[in-house]
Amino acid sequence: MKKDHRENTVGRWATKKLDALEAYLNFYGTALSKQPFERVYIDAFAGACVAKVRGSGVAAEASPFFEEPDDSEAQEEFIFGSPIRALSVPNSFHRLYFFDLDETRADRLRTTASRRSGVTVQVGDCNPLIRNLAPSLKTRTIRGVAFLDPYGAHLEWATLEALADTGTMEVVINFPLAMAINRLITRSGQGCSTLTPGNLILA
């Protein structure tokens, strides 16, 4: 079943992915903290502020040998999403842009970030929104990070080109490699000729 982009649940692997992003943003902010640049962050597929880890909260099978009632019920596990992590890092960004397809999640993010200046939350397809934003980032006084974590095949190549053309934005992509390969293989088992090394960008 295709994953709904409005679903506020993530797989267990998401914790490592988001921890890695947070560590990178911490390092980035520290490295540029004494530089005169205006720091910009873009989250193209922002998602929920908090998400439930799928599979958590499911009661574990009771042991036939020991009576452990307290251990037989698993606790639900929740993790902070990329927006909260970006907003919370020390030496954070002066401007943060969050894009999401769901109005409810966007409203929650606006509320969460309401006391923070420089935050823009927009609802809609991030591709044209980022391409419209990109020209304003093409200046020597800006340095930034764009986090692209698409729900599926929702990221357009022209968006990557627009970010690259700024010359100021570092792009971090969580690329669903296995999903992409499966989509590009025909029913006959023959690979699609458009899959070339230049198409694969890994975080």
| Segment 140-163, tens digit of pLDDT | 999 999 999 887 768 899 999 999
Kindly report the backbone phi and psi dihedral angles of residue 22, in degrees, each rounded to the nearest multiple of 5, phi listed first.
-60, -45
* Integer CA distances (angstroms), 72 to 37, 54, 68, 107, 152, in order: 52, 18, 6, 37, 35
Q: Among the ranges 49-53, 91-95, 186-190, which has the highest mean pLDDT value?
A: 91-95
For helices 126-133 and 157-166, the axis angle rounded to 10 degrees is 20
pLDDT for 14:
77
Q: Among the ranges 17-31, 49-63, 143-157, 178-192, which has the highest mean pLDDT value?
A: 17-31
Joined together, the tokens standing for residue 112 give 């969460």
Distance CA 141, CA 38 (A): 6
Distance CA 161, CA 166 (A): 9
pLDDT for 143:
97
What residues contact 197, with CB distance under 8 A and at least 6 apart? none
Q: What is the mean pLDDT of residues 7-20?
A: 78
Indicate the residue type of 138. K
